[in-house]
């Protein structure tokens, strides 16, 4: 609630003499509406989120096999993660590689296609729907089948490559290339950030572009001087969200490798490893520790993004 700054700070001449306001009523006057609007989220946070989150933090210091009582083991889980867990290292490598490549590529595609579609060309709704369709498949079991049809040794991709004389390996089952098939899958489902970019592009008023063309600005200049700056809040959002999602990515690897992370753990995403530990090997305590390590990493990255965002993100307030 914005305080009316035009009143004199000591203010009282226009107000009837009253008892000095208590701390609570002052707090309420200044922050009341803020907290009222925040109320649904606060209730949800305290009742549904913080409890389980704190319990999982507690569990990370225990040995919990799901079926019996948790056993306190102190920092043993964390110690193991950082000193003697090769699968942790492997899964971290896989996940970082995935984040590094899938996020930028996905965003570039999403923005490019959104810009293309923003032109308002003929058939626009159809194209937009077509590009969004893959994202609708979500966590379908069918995706594993489809991806194998494309990227197995005798899959479509190799058929096409054969036309230009290349004999491709079995991309999806070769440890050198399997992760790339998952990266391609992530990019294939660029529909969501594309829609968000589109919404952001649509919020840029047309008259700005009109005024700029009248001034003789080329399309490229318009893109650089108008579109990009006004789009930065959306770009920032998409970048942060896609990165967080990529770090937490689970379902594609789960479905395509049938939960194994193979071949040779080349598709062992971090959350997949976590899932194996929790439900496959009855080590929910260790899995909780893994989860909090991941949270710390994501939090550091996100904080860094927010801190540096002030240098390039252009808000209107």
In the bound state with other proteins, the residue whose beta carbon lies nearer, of 15 and 119, is 119
Q: What is the DSSP letter of 171?
A: G
Torsions phi, psi for 267 (to 5 deg):
-120, 25
Interacting span for other proteins (CB under 8 A) from 7-15, 16-24, 93-101, 272-280: 272-280
Q: Report 175-214 residues binding other proteins (CB under 8 A).
A: 175, 188, 192, 195-196, 198-200, 202-203, 205-207, 214
CB of 306 to other proteins, least distance (A): 8
Pairwise CA distance, residues 161 & 158, whole Å = 5
The smaller minimum CB distance to other proteins, of residues 129 and 161, is found at 129
- Write down the least CB distance from residue 191 to other proteins, Å: 9
Span from 8-16, 91-99, 218-226, 280-288 in contact with other proteins (CB under 8 A):
280-288
Q: Which of residues 43-102 bind other proteins (CB under 8 A)?
A: 43-45, 47-49, 51-53, 55-56, 59, 65-70
x/- mask, other proteins, residues 129-168, rule CB under 8 A, reads xxxxxxxxxxxxxxxxxxxxxx-xxx-x------------
User: Comparing C-alpha atoms, which of 250, 299, 300 is closest to residue 278?
Assistant: 250
> What SS3 class is residue 64?
coil
Rounded CA separation 291/52 (Å):
13
Which of 8, 20, 123, 165 binds other proteins (CB under 8 A)? It is: 123
Contact region with other proteins (CB under 8 A), list: 13-21, 95-103, 128-136, 217-225: 128-136
Q: Is 29 in the site for other proteins (CB under 8 A)?
A: no
CA–CA–CA angle 152, 190, 269 (5° rounding):
55
Structure token pair of residue 138: 């979500």
**Does residue 40 touch other proteins according to CB under 8 A?**
yes
Spatial separation of the C-alpha atoms in residues 119 and 124, rounded to whole Å = 8
239 binds other proteins (CB under 8 A): no
Strands (E), the chain: 62-63, 71-72
């Amino acid at each position: 609630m914005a305080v009316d700054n035009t009143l004199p700070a000591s203010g009282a001449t226009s107000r009837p003499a009253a008892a000095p306001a208590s701390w609570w009523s002052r707090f309420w006057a200044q922050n009341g509406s803020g907290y009222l609007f925040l109320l649904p989220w606060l209730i949800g946070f305290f009742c549904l989120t913080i409890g389980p989150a704190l319990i999982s933090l507690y569990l990370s210091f225990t040995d919990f096999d799901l079926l019996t009582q948790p056993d306190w083991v102190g920092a043993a889980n964390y110690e193991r993660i950082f000193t003697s867990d090769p699968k942790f290292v492997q899964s971290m490598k896989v996940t970082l590689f995935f984040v590094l490549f899938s996020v930028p590529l996905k965003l570039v595609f999403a923005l490019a296609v959104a810009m293309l579609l923003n032109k308002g060309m003929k058939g626009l709704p159809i194209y937009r729907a077509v590009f969004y369709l893959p994202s609708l498949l979500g966590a379908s079991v069918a995706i594993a089948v489809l991806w194998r049809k494309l990227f197995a040794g005798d899959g479509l991709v190799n058929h096409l490559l054969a036309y230009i004389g290349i004999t491709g390996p079995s991309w999806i089952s070769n440890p050198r290339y399997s992760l790339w098939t998952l990266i391609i899958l992530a990019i294939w489902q660029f529909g969501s950030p594309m829609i968000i970019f589109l919404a952001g592009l649509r919020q840029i008023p047309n008259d700005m572009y009109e005024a700029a063309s009248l001034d003789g600005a080329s399309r490229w200049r318009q893109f650089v001087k108008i579109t990009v700056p006004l789009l930065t809040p959306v770009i920032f959002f998409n970048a942060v969200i896609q990165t967080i999602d990529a770090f937490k990515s689970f379902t594609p690897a789960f479905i395509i490798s049938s939960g194994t992370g193979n071949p040779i753990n080349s598709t062992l995403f971090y959350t997949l490893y976590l899932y194996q530990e929790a439900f496959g090997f009855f080590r929910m305590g260790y899995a909780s520790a893994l989860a909090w390590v991941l949270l710390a990493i994501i939090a550091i990255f996100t904080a860094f993004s927010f801190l540096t965002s002030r240098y390039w993100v252009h808000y209107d307030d």
